Structure 1
């Protein structure tokens, strides 16, 4: 198994046992002492270390979190704190940029929460994470998470995916920054993207 740091290009930094199980890898990710400004995730069966979002992302993340918080399902909350969510069926562990999750999932012992607790995930693309956000994470979230928002920082667009199924999301809508974007149930409101 390879541990990779994602900057502008993925670079291997260590090798792990090829026989490592999903649970072992997930535990390693959760316990990693990553460099300041970086987070670790389990993507495509590899431990990937990537930088936190750039400063210019902060306002957009805050604006989106504040709007979502006003419309979260009962017992859920919106946050950007770095927590790892496990998707056991796909053998993946992601630390979303922004998420809405059931508060009860954080009453459990351990270092990672169950992906089933998520009602929404938001990923803010960067050069180093764009491929995973638009492909791998879309496939995994599309099996379970009710709503997935991809904030495409390079394209100045936001896309909402919803209606998960065994084959992925059934619906999607994309708007340019500055246009409203409707987020369906369980939220049912329009995101104001004028500040994006």
Structure 2
């Protein structure tokens, strides 16, 4: 049985599967709630592209708009970038099992901060995703979370490393140091705190 097979099949999951998302929007299933948001802005997309370009494609799949399945969760988040070793998830399909993923990236927007720093943190930790990178263009920082532990909503990452834009972020799990010097910024909003 795979992690995709272990997910609960609920009315929300079935509704999400059949959802017709309007062009220019994206939808995610987050702990039983269907969350729809407008597409990202150019600053967001350029940050994702800059990160993707630095990850060697000969060893890693670097996938955007890829849903992942969290075992034992009614969640199908769509991180801004999913990184997994080539060959870790072969064949067709909309979902990649979280245990196959090496790193997920979320770029914080004005409306996603609480989800990115809170709910998604516990979801990715519950799915045992080894590394979760949050890039916040409003706070001009990168937060790398590693060593997931716990179950369900109480799951969390045990190690947190914060790096300011302009400094490099060691992504040892990928064998690179991420150059953040080209990351663009957005006007600051109130600081969001991880639990």
Looking at both structures, which has the greater relative contact order when contacts are Cα pairs under 8 Å and sequence separation is at least 6?
Answer: 2
Q: Does the CA-based 8 Å contact 1:30-1:112 persist in structure 2? A: no
Distance 1:163 1:88 in 2: 17
Match 1:182 to one of 150, 170, 185: 170
TM-fit CA distance, 1:26 = 2.7
TM-fit CA distance, 1:56 = 1.9
Deviant stretches of 4+, over 3 Å: 21-24
**TM-score with structure 1 setting the length:** 0.78
Q: Which residue of 2 aligns with 1:140?
A: 123
TM-fit CA distance, 1:24 = 4.0
Q: Does the CA-based 8 Å contact 1:123-1:133 persist in structure 2? A: yes
Residues 1:95 and 2:78 aligned together:
yes
Q: Which residue of 2 aligns with 1:129?
A: 112
Q: Which residue of 1 aligns with 2:89?
A: 105
**TM-score with structure 2 setting the length:** 0.78
Q: In the superposition, relative to structure 1, how do residues 69 and 31 fare at CA in structure 2: closer, same or farther (>3 Å)?
A: farther
TM-fit CA distance, 1:152 = 0.8
Q: Does the CA-based 8 Å contact 1:100-1:121 persist in structure 2? A: yes
Distance 2:112 2:98 in 1: 20
Distance 1:181 1:111 in 2: 30
Distance 1:79 1:181 in 2: 20
**Unmatched tracts of structure 1, length 5 or more:** 1-20
Q: How many residues align?
A: 170
Q: Which residue of 2 aligns with 1:79?
A: 63
Q: In the superposition, relative to structure 1, how do residues 153 and 61 fare at CA in structure 2: closer, same or farther (>3 Å)?
A: same
Distance 1:64 1:153 in 2: 13
**1:105 aligns to what SS in structure 2?**
coil
Q: Which residue of 2 aligns with 1:158?
A: 142
Distance 1:27 1:106 in 2: 24
More strand by share: 1
Q: Does the CA-based 8 Å contact 2:66-2:82 persist in structure 1? A: no
Q: Deviations over 1:115-137 (max 9, x none)?
A: 22211000011122111110011
Distance 1:194 1:50 in 2: 28
Q: Deviations over 1:73-94 (max 9, x none)?
A: x4x41122x1221113122110
